[in-house]
Structure 1
Amino acid sequence: MLKQHKLLYKFLIVLALLFIISNSQQEQNFDDIQVVDNSWGLYKPHLLFCVTQRSLNPINFGLIYANQQINGIHQNVKNNLRWKFGNKNDHMFVDYISNNGLDFAEQKIVDSKMNVEIQTVFVKNEEQQWGINLQIKNQGDSQNGVIVYLYLTSSTYESNNNIKQKILIDTFEDNQPIKLEIEHTKKSILSDYIEIVEVNKQDQPSLFELKLLSANLQETWDMQKILYNNIDFNGNLENSLKMQTDPSKEEEQNHCVGVSDQSIRECSKKRKQSLKRSKQNHNIAILKITNPSRNNLNFFIRFQNSTITQRQLNYTQQNDTLSNQSIKQKQKIISSFQDSSYFENIYVFEQLTKLKKDKFKLDLKQKFGYEKEDLIQSTISNLLGGIVFYHGKIVVRNSLMKNNEYKTVFSASPSRKIFPRAFLWDEGFHDSIICVWNEILCKQFIYSWLQIQDVFGYIPREQVRTTEISIMVPDGFRSQDSYEANPPTLLLPILQITQGRKNISFLQKSFRKLEKWFKWFSKTQSGLDFHNKDKINRIMLNEQLPPHYRWQCKGYCKDGNFMGSGLDDYPRQDPLVISKQHLDLQSWMIFFTESLETLSARLNYKAKQTSYKKFKEQLKQQLMNEFLDRKSYLFKDLGAKVFNNTDEQFVTHLGYITTYPLIFNAIKNNTYELQQILDLLYSKEHLWTDYGIRSLSLKDPLQGTGDDYWRGAIWMPLNYLILRSLKLYYFQNEKAKIIYHELRDNLIQNVYKNWKQSGYLYETYNPYTGQGQRGYPFNGWTSLIVLIIKQDFE
């Protein structure tokens, strides 16, 4: 009998899985905003400068630099390579001056230790051609100056991908622009080209070394390691081709030594032919640039892709011009197209840069207003400078699905320096800003996150999908748990774009994903113990669960820290009292239900609208019945005694959690419950400071203890949500209006003051001094300051 029950159980599991997968396969894709399109951009924010593609097999072009002398002491160049923006680079100031997130970015790097200042300008056109102006100023000893390495690599994100891209030398000759070719297949007559030109080299041309290499396509991302293994103590490329573009030198001193004048031309011709085509399948090119005689280096780099060439070729073929031509003749015609590049020279590029920059500033004023323009420009530029693209699989524990599914991530990120990867609950705040800036880009980010969702509705909260990302993440955060949630902040930007006919298709496709996500929350984040077979059985049998909620954790919730809540070490329990039901999650689910109600109305789903409205009212009633402490008339987490789970009592800690019913407009205006929350917010003995709302009451015994992450610090996302809710209440509530205006002014003045002093936004701000602290630069959700300035809380 027991054996029959087990067989029946397995059969039901399989049946349920087949049903879920079948429904998933029937869902529509977001074809109108396809993400993987080979578009070029700066999608590796942890690197100081790297142009790459939104592609599963991207080409990458980037910068590494070093200095032979630091503080007058000769250095081992191998140990002083600068490539990425990491925690140890406190001597570096890295800042996007302008960046529209699409086709224009201007960046400044100041390295005080290396005595180097670098400026990069990137401009792209609609044909996916691009140009770069790279200026390097050596502020130290010019006789032992900066060494610049430029690299070009072919790569892939998938282990079973056998791509045929090959990097070749097209031109590497004295007094000529350096030209590298990217050949995509052996049979193709079309190639992409990278051309590198030194600007203003009349006084003393630079010295160049070039080396082609081969490496595993999944490892070419680690260019610092590859370069380390291919240079000597002084930074010279081993076994490289050398060129000195100095017209004063005799030609025979360059490459053709010991031959007669008559044979020099033949020698040069053979050398050119040998460099033109290589029999080896190289996928890396490294160019070393030095100039001991000059402090300033200036290079113009342009990329000519085969897309426009293909279009021109097709047009020509339609007119039968090439129909009877040989391959060599076709290549010659194609070459003439490529020579007429959109980025013809540095002067044309500079004009395009000026136009892009002027338009960027004008768009900022139109979309974000004129208050604190300098802060807004820096904030938006560096938020967009944190865009990431990568593709891979993630380790998910407790999942009924296999952990080998590759997914693509296209998203903003919290910080180039400490968190250059995608986080779920951060992204909703990022996109609330980006939707104001560029709605199409915003929808692409939302699309990417919703496509990550598995068949049950689960979305991993932290996207650690490649080795390149994984090595920057502590071990305990690399894997995810299919029962651990994260606040559904994606609803915020989705609600922003509910208006307008053009968004109906996007909303319809999003709605099905959101419903699945909502059901996953309801089934997994209940107040019951979820890590047991009984719970899994109930999910698979689609059994209705009680409508109250508790954040689940990876395994056990260590020290009462519910990381999935996003509030990490915020205290959720008292001595001998365990956390049972969570006020913030109950409030998020009220907001989730209300959002689905709003979307149902927008999409004319009448029955769904009625159903969600009814469920929302049930959750609100439960909020009043179970989370309101009738002694203090404040809302609190519900706990239970360790040795008697039926003996319930309220958790005593007051802070951000206490404000959630206000944040999501879950209580009526001008009620005693609302008044108590407003009093708590405005009390200096509890949450009020001159710099923003602190995360935990000043009177709390755990204030400032332990890691002191969410135990007192001022966090921008919660202050933003509080302001957003106060504005809903303040038209009929004078105290809400007073708090709103004072809080807004405090936040703006403090963030602006810190930014003026350091040039950075910070992860948190000190509640006693207002000083920025923890991670920086932190242009993730701290960038919400621009919406606070704009007073945009839609």
Structure 2
Amino acid sequence: MRWSIAYLISIIYSIFVLSVTANQQKTFDLYASNPYEVTDDSNLNAKYSKLSDNSLLWGPYRSSLYFGLRPRLPRSLLSGLMWFSMDNYNQIGNIRHFYEQNDKMSKANWINYNPRIGGRQYIKDEEIHFDIYIDFVKSSDGLSWGVKIKGVPHKGFENSKISFVWYSGLEGERKVEDSINVKERTGYIKLENDESLDGYEENIRFSGISEELGAFSLVINDGPETNKHPKGLEELKHEFNPAYTHHYSLTVPDDNVWQARDIFMTMLQESIKNLNDKYKALEYIPPENSFIIKNLQGFEGNLHFIQKIYQGECEFDIIYTNSMTPESEIPTFINIQKMIDAKLRTNDANFEKYYKLQPPFNEPKHKIFAQEMISGLLGGITYMYGDHLVDRFTEFDEDTFESYTLQGSYEGPHELFTLVPSRPFFPRGFYWDEGFHLLPLIKYDSDLVLDIVKSWFNLIDENGWIAREQILGPEARSRVPKEFRVQSPHIVNPPTLTLVLNNLLETISQYKDISEPNEIDDESSEVRLGKFTLSNPEVLLNYTKQIYPNLKNHFEMFRRTQKGYVEEFERPIDNNEVFRWRGRTYTHCLASGLDDYPRAIPPDIGELNVDLISWIGVMTRSLRQMAEVLEIDDDIASLKEIEKNIISNIEKLHWSKDNNAYCDISVDEDDESIFVCHKGYVSLLPFLTKMIPGDDHDKLNDVISSIMNPEELWSDFGIRSLSKSDEFYKTGENYWRSPIWINMNYLVLKSIHDYYYENKFSFSPELKSKFESAYHDLRINLIKNVFGQWQNTGFVWEQYDDETGVSKGAKNFLGWTSTIVLIMTMPENL
């Protein structure tokens, strides 16, 4: 029986549809797995889950690159962009690929972006003298995408020459044996053009098949007729012609596509040698001829490079089409600009809807700034998959508290969907940063927030531990110094994700339509994505059931591993809810997140840390709220008792009357408890986590007075991390010993706001005035300085100098510095 080609294609297509659907269901089942029974959320939930997962399938999830695309799948199709100047021979050493802290950029950030639909990244390269615009848009079903890359030379460099290199590599395909025992991959990506060693004038076309993605195509054009190419030498126009597109391919093992830059440079050296050997008689070969990659070996494997060379302003497009995307939704070279314009308008409208900037920072220039902060934060979303290094055997010397060296072994693989603090400096997952990353996104896309929270809690091991830094796979490890790669289960981090859960649980009642479940309409799904969970109580209930067991296990791990001593030092309490950070040294307490913040000297096992008990208090409160939602009576009673004890112990043990502040505790030579007081972020933690009873006006007055005191914590640019009067102020590393950190200042401002509105009718006129004044002036100081530094430098930063306001530390630190946008949405006055 003879089958038509069309019929065969339809069979193959059906197989891949089933394969992709099964894989998506497998992924969903993985996320949903837990020992608690999860009720059926009906077809509505299943339909939404498919729409939402597809909308987040593709993205620039290789955030450590200037632009690196991948799907949210363990091993699949990885793509990236590189560029370099061809104006002289020296610039090849400045080829752009990984986003580096020291690259000479005056801007490199997503300025208009939503991970569900796409947006625009703007890069101002001061060394190559080009502005690079990267527009990324998705089809409505989320399975296909298009990219427009545009280069605009700076004034005075209008005729500069630039080379762009796009690469795509397919990983993760299994090897199978056919009838003659030859091993072949189950998937591929192959060039469809007739092979030409000399280059291509037409569009470059690839076809591919993947077990997880199905059938797909990738097409790259050469842009509009206005594009210009360098001419190069007449003698080389038939072989090393810069007007042509050039292609190189080879086979690389899994977990190696990320090394595309090094591979390209190695292959380029081979091409340069071939050119020089062949044309020894030429006295001079310009860079536009010399730096052309040639597929001299005729390889075609799973990794492909496409090189283009332009002179002056230029642009070109890349279109990826999944065979399941309806034809009417597919991005094309004809409609891509229209799609880009529409997506940018949608992003503008959504930002205006969800971020209501308040006076005096609600002018158009402030909106541009705030939208860039949120876009850049979202542009830092990363999907990581792979093993990581863990040392489960090293025991910390509790007597000497000396620095330690961890020797890790590989565990995993694991996967994580996360935001990163800084793409050029910290392109990895940080547990204590993540809560601050998510706070500005709760109203914008609560489903995305819940998805990321769930991804983190899926990493909780059987002992309840999560590694404080997530460095999964070789690409992530390549960006981390060796001394920070190994993680220890003895070391924890502040559980800031519980701040997010608290916020979400408190926010539910604010949604008017919570009792009216969404109707999913395929034609309008793009508008509705992001609010489904909070608008459908039964779905939120199931979500809570899914994460509660893991979070409870995590909570018990904190209480077990960070437990402090009570009876051994005759502390005047009748419970064991006291805690000490493990893994600290004489100079650092990395577990606390406040690395070099001064602690007790010498360290002692009798130490108790006020910031840690406050964080565990927040965790207890969050878990108790979840238990109430799930109606687990035994847990509710137990958690209420723990929360009560924590609040009581903070008051009984950590409040120093002599210092009018909350302090760490240590012991003297006679093992008697003593206060270790260093006013700053640590002493403020009970206030920041709202562990101070609202009716304790005396302590609230002491805290707000310390905040407002210029000789202690107040500065013209924000609340400094350590008191100006402290003996360790601006000493040593000075990381957390004076600089202003915006995330902590947000918590200060939020706590001032919340305590005021919860207690203003009982506050004395004097205390009420203090709160009002501190709130107004602090908000003004913070926004004015961060916005001003952004105008001056093009970036937001990790921290700010408390005396000058000048930016410091890692640049493009959109992690918790983006909480400045939340501050901009807070009211001008109390």
2:689 is matched with which residue?
664
Question: SS in structure 2 opposite 1:198?
Answer: coil
Matching residue of 1:214: 251
1:101 deviation in Å?
A: 2.0
CA contact (8 A) 1:152 1:286 kept: yes
> Paired residue for 1:692, among 696, 713, 718?
718
Cα gap change, 1:573 to 1:562, in 2 (>3 Å):
same
Cα contact 1:76–1:233 (8 A) shared by 2: no
Q: State yes or no: 1:473 paired with 2:480.
A: yes
Partner of 2:28: none
**Cα distance in structure 1, aligned partners of 2:325 and 2:381:** 26
Distance 1:157 1:560 in 2: 48
Which residue of structure 1 aligns with residue 302 of structure 2? Answer: 283
Query: Aligned equivalents of 1:613 and 1:203: distance in 2?
Result: 68
Query: What's 1:300 paired with?
Result: 317
1:79-98 equivalences under 5 Å are 79-91=93-105, 93-98=107-112
Letter aligned with residue 415 of structure 2: T
Compute the displacement of 1:200 (Å).
Answer: 1.8
Query: Which of the numbers 330, 339, 342 marks the counterpart of 1:355?
Result: 342
SS at match of 2:132: strand
For residues 273 and 226 of structure 2, the distance between their equivalents in structure 1, rounded to whole angstroms, comes to 24
Contact 1:95 1:382 in 2 (8 A): yes
Alignment of 1:199 with 2:223, yes or no, is yes
User: Is the CA contact 1:421–1:469 (under 8 Å) kept in the aligned structure 2?
Assistant: yes
Number of equivalent positions: 676
Counterpart Cα distance in 1 of 2:707 and 2:175 = 53
Q: Pick from 376, 380, 384: which aligns with 1:386?
A: 380
Change (3 A) 1:163 1:761: farther
**1:730 aligns to 2:756 (yes or no):** yes
Q: For the residues of structure 2 that align with 1:236 and 1:101, how far apart are their CA atoms?
A: 43
Residue 710, structure 1, aligned to residue 736, structure 2: yes
| Partner of residue 818, structure 2 | 783
Could you tell me which residue of structure 2 aligns to residue 113 of structure 1? 127
Change beyond 3 A, Cα 1:54–1:163: farther
Residue 480 of structure 2 aligns to a residue whose secondary structure is coil
Of 96, 104, 107 in structure 1, the residue corresponding to residue 118 of structure 2 is 104
Opposite residue 559 of structure 2, the aligned amino acid is S
User: What is the CA–CA distance in structure 2 between the aligned matches of 1:523 and 1:352, rounded to whole Å?
Assistant: 54
State the alpha-carbon separation in 1 of the partners of residues 779 and 89 from structure 2: 52
Within 5 Å, which residues of 2 pair with 1:517-596?
A: 517-527=554-564, 546-553=576-583, 557-574=584-601, 580-596=607-623
Identity %: 25
Between 779-788 and 464-473, the greater mean CA deviation after superposition: 464-473
Q: Is the CA contact (8 Å cut-off) linking 1:167 and 1:281 kept in structure 2?
A: no
Q: How far, CA to CA, are the matches of 1:76 and 1:361 in structure 2?
A: 37
Which runs of 5 or more residues in structure 1 are unaligned?
A: 1-23, 240-274, 310-336, 530-543
Contact 1:42 1:385 in 2 (8 A): yes
The corresponding residue for 1:40 is 58
Distance across 2 between alignment mates of 1:341 and 1:468: 33
Alignment partner, residue 182 of structure 1: 208
Distance 1:699 1:29, change over 3 A: farther
Partner SS, residue 393 of structure 1: strand
**Is residue 610–residue 654 contact of structure 2 (8 Å, CA) maintained in 1?**
yes
Match among 186, 193, 205 for residue 171 of structure 1: 193
State the match for 2:514 in structure 1. Answer: none
Aligned-pair distance for 1:178?
A: 1.4
| Aligned-partner Cα distance in 1 for 2:173–2:771 | 51
1:578-617 pair list within 5 angstroms: 580-617=607-644
Structure 2 SS opposite 1:82: coil
Aligned residue among 534, 539, 547 for 1:510: 547
Cα distance in 1 for residues equivalent to 2:204 and 2:58: 21
Partner of 2:356: 369
Q: Which residue identity lines up with residue 427 of structure 2 in the other structure?
A: P
SS of residue paired to 2:324:
helix
Deviations 1:755-781 (A, max 9, x none): 122221110011001111111111000
Given that 1:368 and 1:790 are in contact with CA atoms closer than 8 Å, whether structure 2 keeps it comes out as yes
Distance 1:603 1:503 in 2: 11
- Find the aligned partners of 2:409 and 2:312 in 1 and give their Cα distance: 56
1:137-176 mapped onto 2 (5 Å cutoff) = 137-139=152-154, 145-156=161-172, 164-171=186-193, 175-176=201-202
> Residue 675 of structure 1: CA displacement?
1.5
TM-score (norm: length of structure 1): 0.79
Partner of 1:633: 660
TM superposition shift of 1:666 = 1.8
Contact 1:730 1:736 in 2 (8 A): yes
CA displacement, residues 551-608 of structure 1 (integer Å, 9 cap, x when unaligned): 111xxx2224211111000001135877700000111122221222222223333332
- What do the CA deviations read for 1:169-222 (whole angstroms, capped 9, x no partner)? 11258653211122337xx99731111112222675632111111111221111
Judging changes above 3 Å, is the alpha-carbon distance between structure 1 residues 614 and 410 closer, same or farther for their aligned structure 2 residues? same
How many Å apart are 1:631 and its aligned residue? 2.5
Q: Which residue of 2 aligns with 1:65?
A: 83
Q: Distance in 2 between matches of 1:476 and 1:28?
A: 42
Q: Residues of 2 paired with 1:233 and 1:88: CA distance?
A: 29
Q: Partner letter of residue 451 of structure 1? A: N
Deviation string, structure 1 residues 126-178 (Cα, Å, up to 9, x no partner): 33111111112344767771111111111249999995332211125865321
Query: Aligned AA for 1:54?
Result: R
Greater CA drift, 424-433 or 197-206: 197-206
**Cα distance in structure 1, aligned partners of 2:159 and 2:753:** 61
Kept after mapping to 2: 8 A contact 1:572/1:579: no
Give per-residue Cα distances to partners, 1:254-287, cap 9 Å, x unaligned.
xxxxxxxxxxxxxxxxxxxxx9xx9976111111
Alpha-carbon contact 2:147-2:319 (below 8 Å) kept: yes
**Cα contact 1:49–1:63 (8 A) shared by 2:** yes
* Structure 1 residue 740 corresponds to structure 2 residue 775: yes
* Distance 1:147-1:57 versus aligned 2 partners, 3 A rule: same
Query: Which has the larger displacement, 413-422 or 101-110?
Result: 101-110
Post-superposition shift, 1:787?
Answer: 1.0
